[in-house]
Amino acid sequence: MKRKRIRRGPVLFLLTIVIGILVYIFYTEFRPTVIFGLRDDYARAIPFQKVPVGLRSLKAEDCGSCHQEIYKEWKTSIHAHAYDDPFFQAYWNKDKHVFVCLNCHAPLENQQPMLIQDIPNDRVERATQIPNYRYEKGFEREGVTCAACHVRDGVIHGPFGDSVAPHPTKFDPAFRTTQMCHRCHSVVSGPFQFYNGGPCGTYTEYEGEFFMKEKGLICQSCHMPKVTRPVAKGGPIRHGRRHLWRGGHDPEMIKRAIAVHVVADPPQPVPGERVDFTLTLINAGAGHKIPTGDPDRHFSVEFVILDGEGNIVEHQAETMGRWILWQPVILEVYDNRLLPLASRDYQFDYDLPERATDWKVQVKIRYHILTDGQHEMLRESYGLTGNDPYVFTIYERDFPLNETLSVALDAQSTDPRLGCAKPADANTVG
């Protein structure tokens, strides 16, 4: 009796159709369209805020008529440019202007042209939206503006309980805690997203046991350094804080967070000899991992051998950051960033040629806001404009590969640029 042959073609075709349907269902019904999950406090904008009695508007410029120094500082901050930052705008183009990004980059309902009525099953692409009749056109360009933190229910909230002002004021103890930073700096994972602490989890990385309990430091201690001055024009002198929020976009802030030390064996190499270098990179000044924030941020540690003519004859580079699988699920595969007060050694060795004259090793640490590939993609496909730098050299030093190497190594202990970073004063007033 003959068996009927099953034709593979139709079976494979049906199997392909089934797999295609399952993939479609997975991406449209289960996998989030953004790289983070929703949480109640940032799933929607901060509710509409009315102008407090005594003020003309919620715009920062009007606040600045009295709070002049604070306004000048705010204008230089990344908070003030959270909306018009070219990197944000390019990524937002990539994400098809999904509304939820605005809830941190222009967080007030007053700043957003649409109102979110419902988010079915947390699918942001299916959110029900209606026009916001109270939207103030152009106000979104102020990003994280004064009112985003300080105005609630027609009252100015702040860290002082004895203010005398031409508008209603209220003491809010949250301004003296890390809670003020939680909403936007503790973004959580969503379904089928397996991060180690979230995609932008600086808040959850904070080493509260040591920095907060033993040192009395909070986020503001470093990112809003203390200052003694009048809070408003003509007001009493107070112990307050500068409104700068320097962080991941400021190479000087990154330099403050690290300490670097280099040793060599032998310390006085001669031509024809092998020399071993060890670079120790320390997270000496940050209360969270470095680098932190956006998952693309990373360090590269480089050793470059240059001959007497300045030609590169050897180059070694290692990376510190996060390695993330983005499809079909988001999986954080590896994270070798430095915890607070932790260190890591990077090794490099080289056999000097017999006739090596005036050779040197260049040691460099660079900080990358995003990868070269991401930068090219954003420029070519998503309208990244401007020439804002995205790679910064935060440490660079040349060491001669001869008998004077030991002198250059000893100089590290007297060079103030190479010492341990010092956090801002632990005073948490303000």
The tens digit of pLDDT for each residue in 93-135 reads 999 999 999 999 999 999 999 999 999 989 999 999 999 999 9
What's the pTM value of the predicted model, to 2 decimals? 0.89
**What pLDDT does 418 receive?**
43
Strand arrangement of the beta sheet that strand 274-283 belongs to: 258-265, 274-283, 343-351
State yes or no: pLDDT of 196 exceeds 50.
yes
CB 240 within 8 Å of CB 430: yes
**What pLDDT does 161 receive?**
87
Residue 37 structure tokens: 């999950």
3-state SS class at 149 = helix
- Percentage of the chain surpassing pLDDT 70? 94
**What pLDDT does 268 receive?**
94
CATH number at residue 358: 2.60.40.10
Reported as a pLDDT band with limits 50, 70 and 90, residue 76 is very high
Distances (CA, A) of 248 to 58, 218, 298, 317: 28, 17, 11, 22
**What pLDDT does 88 receive?**
95
112 & 216 share domain: yes
| Residue 27 counted as domain residue | no
Number of structural domains the chain divides into: 2
State yes or no: pLDDT of 59 exceeds 70.
yes
State yes or no: pLDDT of 6 exceeds 80.
no
96 & 219 share domain: yes
Host domain of residue 396: 251-381+388-415
| Residue 163 counted as domain residue | yes
Instruction: Show the CA angle centred on residue 288, arms to residues 143 and 101, nearest 5°.
Output: 25
State pLDDT tens for residues 305-335: 999 999 999 999 999 999 999 999 999 999 9
State pLDDT tens for residues 403-416: 999 999 998 865 54
State pLDDT tens for residues 236-264: 999 999 999 999 899 999 999 999 999 99
- Percentage of the chain surpassing pLDDT 90? 78
Question: Mean of the pLDDT values across residues 381-406?
Answer: 93
234 & 174 share domain: yes
Identify each DSSP E strand in 251-408 by its residue range: 258-265, 274-283, 298-306, 312-320, 322-325, 330-335, 343-351, 360-368, 391-400
HEC-encoded secondary structure of 375-419:
HHHHHHHCCCCCCCCCEEEEEEEEEECCCCHHHHHHHHHCCHHHC
CB 205 within 8 Å of CB 288: yes
Distance (Å, whole) CA 178 – CA 176: 7
Final residue of a structural domain among 178, 208, 241: 241
Strands 169-171 and 193-194: unpaired
| Residue 10 counted as domain residue | no
Residue 288 structure tokens: 């969270």
Question: Could you tell me the end-to-end alpha-carbon distance of the chain, in angstroms, rounded to an integer?
Answer: 92
276 & 188 share domain: no
